[in-house]
């Protein structure tokens, strides 16, 4: 993971994501997930593109399945966009960068 992409855990999810002052994009993923590996470079790019505007991070569902379960993540990769503590958008699957950019642009 790059320095711009945070790793969120069960322990810090509330403070890092729910209570964040800026919008947050959370990538729910796992090591064994092929589509997750496809979208990972896109998430890295977005972290650079939106630095200072959107916090971007990942949750490993194998290590932190309580968070994934709490937000109804049933397939991975799932990207959730949070604003003011609430999920405002959801993307499931490996989608083009342009699709994610369109969504992020609506929350900043």
Segment 48-72, tens digit of pLDDT: 999 999 999 999 999 999 999 999 9
Q: How confident is the model at residue 3 (pLDDT cuts 50, 70, 90)?
A: confident
Overall number of domains in the chain? 1
Convert the chain into a string of H (helix), E (strand) and C (coil).
CCCCEEECCCCCHHHHHHCCCCCEEEEEECCCCHHHHHHHHHHHHHHHHCCCCCEEEEEECCCCHHHHHHCCCCCCCEEEEEECCEEEEEEECCCCHHHHHHHHHHHC
51: annotated active-site residue: no
Segment 67-90, tens digit of pLDDT: 999 999 999 999 999 999 999 999
Give pLDDT, residue 108. Answer: 94
Range of the structural domain that residue 72 is part of: 5-107
Catalytic-labelled residue, pool 36, 40, 43, 103: 36
Catalytic-labelled residue, pool 26, 33, 73, 80: 33
Q: Are 90 and 80 in contact (CB under 8 A)?
A: yes
Q: How much of the chain, in percent, has pLDDT values that exceed 70?
A: 98
The CATH number that applies at residue 103 is 3.40.30.10
pLDDT reading at 2 higher than 80 = no
């Amino acid at each position: 993971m790059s320095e711009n992409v945070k790793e969120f855990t069960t322990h810090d999810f509330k403070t890092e994501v729910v209570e964040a002052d800026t919008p947050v994009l959370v990538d729910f993923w796992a090591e064994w997930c092929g589509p997750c590996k496809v979208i990972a470079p896109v998430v890295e790019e977005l972290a650079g593109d939106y630095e200072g505007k959107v916090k971007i991070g990942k949750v490993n569902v194998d290590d932190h399945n309580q968070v994934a379960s709490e937000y109804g993540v049933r397939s991975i990769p799932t990207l959730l966009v949070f604003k003011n503590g609430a999920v405002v958008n959801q993307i499931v699957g490996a989608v083009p960068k342009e699709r994610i950019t369109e969504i992020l642009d609506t929350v900043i």
